[in-house]
Each structure stands twice: as structure tokens, then as C-alpha cells.
Amino acid sequence: MTEKIICPYCEKALTEKYYCISCQKDFGVAARHSEEGTLPDYQIAQQDYIDNACFHFLKEFVPISHWDIAQISIIRDALISVLIKFHNKKEYDLYPWLLEPEDIVST
Ligand SMILES: [Zn+2]
């Protein structure tokens, strides 16, 4: 068993330099931020973009509604599901998460 970070797109283990060979993508910036427990600014901005879009959508129907993450997260989950299922988007691009090492069985 070794601890490795998994590619957020294809779920294969990244190299020591946080590179996914299958996707040919470098996750170095995100992985190093994850070690500090934070996302890079551009990923925080992406999360804010989605949450704000959900809040504006809610306000279309309830103009007096206030920012409530419980309500926003329900809309967000539905929106993300639609974007993935019907529009071929990647969850990690829409709403990125921390890349934390996981125990994987080495082969
Ligand atoms: Zn990958």
C-alpha cells in the first residue's frame, strides 16, 4: 500500500511530480496547494462562480432569499449532474476539490 494522489479526471495514480500520464495533465499547482489544505485561487474562483450562479438562479424565484449554502448546494448538485450527464463537462473543472493522497494497492 502506498499513498498516492488520484487523477481527478481518470482516477489513475499521479506520478511523484503530480502528473497524469493518461490525461497528460500536470496537477502540480493544485496538489501543492492541497498539501496546505487550500485550493489555488483560480479554483476557489471557479467554486464561487458556480455558487453565485446557483444563488442568482434561486433569486429568480425568491428575490428576497439570502445566501444559504444548504439551498445553494442542492441547486449546485443538480446543476453539476446535468452538466456532466448531458454536456460532457468534468466535475473537477466545475467544482474542484482538494487532491489528497489516498491509500492505493500498488500493482
Ligand atoms: Zn488522468
Centre of ligand 1 from the C-alpha of residue 22, in Å: 5
The pLDDT of 12-31, averaged and rounded, is: 96
The answer to whether residues 99 and 30 touch, using CB atoms and an 8 Å cutoff, is yes
Q: In this predicted model, what pLDDT tens digit does every residue of 33-90 receive, in sequence order?
A: 999 999 999 999 999 999 999 999 999 999 999 999 999 999 999 999 999 999 999 9
Distance between Cα 19 and ligand 1 center (Å):
8
Say whether pLDDT at 105 is over 80: no
Confidence of residue 106 (pLDDT cuts 50, 70, 90): low
DSSP one-letter string for 42-106? HHHHHHHHHHHHHHHHHHHH-TT----HHHHHHHHHHHHHHHHHHH---HHHHS------EEE--
User: Ligand 1 centroid to 11 CA: how many Å?
Assistant: 6
pLDDT at 28 > cutoff 60? yes
Ligand 1 centroid, distance to 45 Cα (angstroms): 23
Give distance in angstroms: CA of 30 to centre of ligand 1.
14
Q: What pLDDT is attached to residue 27?
A: 97
Q: Give residue limits of the domains in the chain.
A: 1-38, 41-95
